[in-house]
Amino acid sequence: MKLLVCVDLSESTEIIVKKIEEITKELPAKVWLLHNAVPEPDFVEFKVDPQAARESLAKKFHLEHRQIQELANRMREAGVDTTALLVHGTTVETILEEASDLEADMIVVGTHGRGAMYQLLMGSVSEAVLHKSRLPVLLVPTHKRA
């Protein structure tokens, strides 16, 4: 089985990684751990000080690269065949393109469990992936609701 596991490096990432480690004990899989590193859409700093903005983004991407590599290393140490991917692009489209390019069998994404108003205003990556994907999508709840 080939899994594309999407993480945002928030608190929910740990829950998703633990779930994948648990699943792959029963069902060995090749895992691609994907993080889409995109700047905020209204990155005002670009307009004010482009050099400072580039340096800030470079630091951010370096940190994210290190974080995703550390997660992949930890998963490999746990016996999971894992490759870290740090990509840039429109989140949902990038996830679907990577899944296709890697010939993944399934996409794994977390759900934050945000309310209807957030969904209406901001949308949901997991919901969009679920509706647009031709592959099975495993949704891992990461919220702490009872």
d(CA 33, CA 117): 30
Q: Which CATH number applies to 2-141: 3.40.50.1970, 3.30.70.270, 3.40.50.620, 2.30.130.40?
A: 3.40.50.620
pLDDT confidence of residue 35: 95
Domain residue ranges of the chain, discontinuous segments joined by +? 2-141
Of the candidates 4, 62, 15, 2, the one whose C-alpha atom is nearest the C-alpha of residue 70 is 62
Residue 19 has pLDDT above 50, yes or no: yes
pTM of the model: 0.84
Collapsing DSSP to helix, strand or coil, 108 comes out as: strand
Give the model confidence (pLDDT) of 97-145 as tens digits.
999 999 999 999 988 765 554 444 435 888 899 899 999 999 998 876 5
What 8-state DSSP symbol labels residue 109? E
The predicted-structure confidence for 73-88, as pLDDT tens digits, reads as follows 999 999 999 999 999 8
How large is the angle between the packed helices 91-101 and 125-132, nearest 10 degrees?
40
Tell me: pLDDT of 24 over 70: yes
